[in-house]
Amino acid sequence: MSEESQRTEQTERREPILEVRDLVKHFPLTQGVLFKRQVGAVKAVDGISFDLYPGETLGIVGESGCGKSTVAKLLMNLEAPTSGTIRYKGEDITKLSGRALKAVRRNIQMVFQDPYTSLNPRMTVGDIIGEPFDIHPEVAPKGDRRRKVQELLDVVGLNPEYVNRYPHQFSGGQRQRIGIARGLALRPEIIVADEPVSALDVSVQAQVVNLMERLQDEFGLSYMFIAHDLSIVRHISDRVGVMYLGKMAEIGSDEEIYEHPTHPYTQALLSAVPVPDPEAEGRRERIVLEGDVPSPANPPSGCRFRTRCWKAEARCAEEVPLLAIPTPFEKAESGVAHPSACHFAEERAAVVAA
Amino acid sequence: MTLLEVRDLHVDFHTRDGIVKAVNGVNYQVEAGETLAVLGESGSGKSVTAQAVMGILDMPPGRIPKGEILFHGEDMLTMSKEERRKIRGARIAMIFQDALSSLNPVLSVGYQLAEMFRVHQGASRKEAKAKAVELMDRVKIPAAKARVSDYPHQFSGGMRQRIMIAMALALEPDLIIADEPTTALDVTVQAQVMELLADLQREFNMGLILITHDLGVVADVADKIAVMYAGRIVETAPVKELYKAPAHPYTKGLLESIPRLDQKGKELYAIQGLPPNMAKVPDGCAFHPRCPVARDVCRSELPPLAEVGEGRGSACHFWKETLGE
Amino acid sequence: MTETLNVPASASTDPQPAPPGKDAAPAKGRSLWTDAWRDLRRNPLFVISAVLIVVLLVMVAFPSLFTSASPTVGDLTHHYQGKPSYSHFFAEDWFGYDTQGRSVWARMVYGARASVLVGVMVTLFVTILGGIVGLVAGYFGGWLDSVLSRITDIFQGIPFLLGAMVVLTTFTKSNVWVVIAALLFLGWTQIARVARGSVITVKQSDYVHAAKSLGASTARIMFRHIVPNAVAPVIVVATTALGGYIAAEATLSYLGIGLAAPTVSWGVDVDSGKDGLRTAPHMLISPAIMVSLTVLAFIMLGDAVRNALDPKSR
């Protein structure tokens, strides 16, 4: 990680706002009705480290079951990690509780995937967006709240007169704007967005992405943008991490990941994305992976990806590849010099349609 | 003879809020061996049209006041229930988005596959089972023989979708309707399933109607595209031409709103506004409130689907302008 | 942190659909409860049920307003006079006389006290107790849920008759409150189960996660987010169970372990009335009408409240 932060020019002189180290979350599998005994664990997140810098967007991509949503829940303190640390401005927030946790929560907020379940159907929009002020009364004096709620509605592009309406009276895109307004209310520094546009209609997705980018500039927010849509992640992210089965497979700047991927999983993922251009489609090589993602309750030994990897050798089953800049590329000038957890990392031409 | 021809199809729904015109005069054709992609957002009427073709529309509240659906030249809407039932599953098959809820959880997949042969072909128990294994092989389910008695929940999402494809293929239909077949799957699995579907289509020379909202998936496999908006087809074209030069502002907006490399750091192009409420579709061209080129005529006059080139149509008053830019 | 938001002059990018007429009124802060109350006042179902319930409650409190006859003093000259004079509104012989020459109407009026008390009190206590158990078990989960759920199972497993006998024979004398205690003892598990299931479903919603990540207290999450969204099935079960409790009181009376004469209750009268079903059906029908009306009123009330608490139904 440290080499990584030295290299990236724009982040060179800044301290990370969030440092995640060796984060692990295992969900126990139990049997029995009254006396529960543990029979195993779902290794949803299994040793993940990354940094988030002020004002940047870190994209996290991966398929279902890779643990990306669990990472979001851990960052939000909605789940307690099995081990590992999450430092916000140097302070480990996994150990906090009570008043100290509440104070930190003001600075880290979340935008959820499904705008239909993330708003309480029995609260008015005014109450939903105003709730952060009820919980943190120090942010806005009582008489000021209503005005603040209306300002927030305006900021996210909704009519401020909508305060007395209920969520079901809005469309998906409008609801997601309400969710974003709630996330902004406490003026947080970090927003964790878990698939914020994937439940929306195609023509509305771009509106919400634009809104999020505008708000980032306006309020100097740092984003953790979790999604499975690679093209949207590329558009919005400064750096991108690729997750597979609870581990980070590869991490780097958007250019390093999209132009110079060295991990076979990243290459396969990029090549599999359908490109809306029939002519480019013919020109690129598609890597079709065999089989499905293994169960996180029983992940393969060594490299997690080896069961679907065309390069896998005996070493991959024995030795867990570390997330580091691969030795052959340490001195490389081009974008290949970024951390990649593969024993046989190499570049591969024509995986991405230009 | 054309395999399937939909002519001026209308579908209404009677709801508490009044009559919702979900499909408003849709026309399309599919030939044997051809893939037609029907592209649209939620509420565009793309799935309702397919349900009407398949004959699985809930009626009531649905109603087909007007239109013809010709299968091998015969109008299915005037057929008896019994005749339609014989076509359904055997000659036109459907694949749904959610494979898990389309399979019966308490019956083994082998049993569910075998049932097709027993009901439609009167095959014996043993024959049917052998055919089920053969089908599972064909859709590339590893160790088909060993897994034939497994239950749906024991398969992964991608494998379940393969089983759905096997079921659709069982009776070697002439036409397959796939409603968002890969939307619920992961990207790497999506590629596998689409490839399988395309291979099998070629092998059996079937017609395929692919219903999707994903411009990327369409580009990959379709021969021609029909873009739907608010219950109407707004543009039809061979796939390559549509991507190269869209003739309707809605299609154009959709294509431009996909993040591209050269747009990095800039604002994404976004179609303004929201998809229409189907109970209150705007007058004139339904897209006019969101359209960048809309003028007075668009607010009052419904543009017909005009021929704008060989095998291409656009329902825009200003298609020349849209194409020309 | 206290600086105000930097608001662009016109950030609105959504076309704004015209607000519905009633929302055009000067926008004042509204909440689920004020909206629900506005909705209820306009709901005829609620108005009818509320009027019925108020009349019943007045009957419970001041039975003498409705009849001058005594429910316990009989005049044997009227013995079994089975012909009710339905035109004599509120008169002593409005619904005829029973075997012992007592005014059936007076017994209907005076019986309200025991029956409504049993029905309403049991429903109230069962909802409170079952609701708390279900909320705690469902919300906190873990070992607390395991323990509470097993206790619920045990109570659920007690046969009605056996359970009632045990409770009622423990007390030396049997009055309305003992019957209420017995029914509460046996009835709370039903609500606890419904409430627990409903709470577990709601607990997993993203809006609960959202509230947690805002730093909301447990009490706020429970009472702002979970209870309003989990209460609907509980209301349905509770209001339909109310009739069951009134009937259960009758069953216990019949078995001789519940209320007994000289206590006046609809249950006691339904029980004694069924013997003369062929010769004097009015003795059964009259108290049965009261039971049905009461149950209907509460079910309608429950339905109206449940609808009012669901913004989608408006």
Residue ranges covered by each domain of chain A: 2-107+188-329
A168/C229 CB distance under 8 A? no
Place of tokens 């919980």: A135
Confidence class of residue B324 from pLDDT cuts 50, 70 and 90? Answer: confident
Stretch A167-188: mean pLDDT, rounded? 90
pLDDT over 80 (residue A81)? yes
- Domain assignment present for residue C72? The answer is no
Whether the complex's predicted ipTM is more than 0.85 is answered with no
3-state helix, strand, coil in chain C (%, to 5): 70, 0, 30
pLDDT over 80 (residue C254)? no
CATH classification of the domain holding C284: 1.10.3720.10
| The CATH fold of domain B4-222 | Rossmann fold (3.40.50)
- What does the pLDDT read at residue C18? 36
Stretch C134-163: mean pLDDT, rounded? 88
Residues in C whose CB is inside 8 Å of some CB of A read: 1-2, 4-8, 11-14, 16, 19, 23, 27-32, 35, 146, 150, 205-207, 209-217, 220, 224-225, 228-229, 309-312
If you average pLDDT over every residue of chain C, what do you get?
A: 79
Stretch A50-57: mean pLDDT, rounded? 93
Give the chain A residue nearest C226 (alpha carbons).
A120
Q: Which CATH number fits domain A2-107+188-329: 3.40.190.10, 2.40.340.10, 3.40.50.300, 3.20.20.70?
A: 3.40.50.300
- Domain assignment present for residue C285? The answer is yes
Least confident of B135-149, B201-215, B232-246, C123-137: B135-149
Least confident of A112-121, B21-30, B261-270, C297-306: B261-270
A206/B188 CB distance under 8 A? no
Residues 6 or more apart in contact with residue C177 via CB below 8 angstroms:
none
Stretch B113-118: mean pLDDT, rounded? 85
- Domain assignment present for residue C21? The answer is no
Confidence class of residue B262 from pLDDT cuts 50, 70 and 90? Answer: low
Confidence class of residue A21 from pLDDT cuts 50, 70 and 90? Answer: very high
> Which one-letter DSSP state was computed for residue A226?
E
Say how far apart CA C183 and CA C160 lie, in whole Å: 9
- What does the pLDDT read at residue C26? 38
Q: How far, in Å, are A212, B274, C24, C25, C43 from residue C21 at the CA level?
A: 32, 22, 5, 8, 19
Nearest to A8 by CA among A55, A63, A44: A55
Q: B-chain residues within 8 Å CB-CB of C13?
A: 272
Stretch A289-317: mean pLDDT, rounded? 87
Confidence class of residue C24 from pLDDT cuts 50, 70 and 90? Answer: very low
pLDDT over 90 (residue B169)? no
- How close C190 comes to chain B (CA, Å)? 29
> Which one-letter DSSP state was computed for residue A340?
B
Residue C66: burial class (beta carbons within 10 Å; 0-12, 13-18, 19+): middle
Task: Confirm or reject contact between B218 and chain A (CB < 8 A).
Answer: yes
Range of the domain at C249: 32-56+93-313
Nearest to A106 by CA among A71, A138, A153: A138
Confidence class of residue C89 from pLDDT cuts 50, 70 and 90? Answer: low
Stretch C205-231: mean pLDDT, rounded? 90
Strand order in the sheet with B35-39: B92-95, B175-179, B207-212, B35-39, B224-229, B232-238, B312-314, B306-309
- What does the pLDDT read at residue C22? 36
- How close B75 comes to chain A (CA, Å)? 34
A209/B268 CB distance under 8 A? yes
pLDDT over 70 (residue C135)? yes
- Domain assignment present for residue C9? The answer is no
Domain total for chain C? 1
Contact criterion met (CB below 8 Å) for B298 and B317: yes
What proportion of chain A, given as a percentage, has pLDDT over 70? 92
- What does the pLDDT read at residue A83? 92
Confidence class of residue B257 from pLDDT cuts 50, 70 and 90? Answer: confident
Stretch B47-55: mean pLDDT, rounded? 88
pTM of the model: 0.80
B156/A279 CB distance under 8 A? no
Stretch A78-88: mean pLDDT, rounded? 91
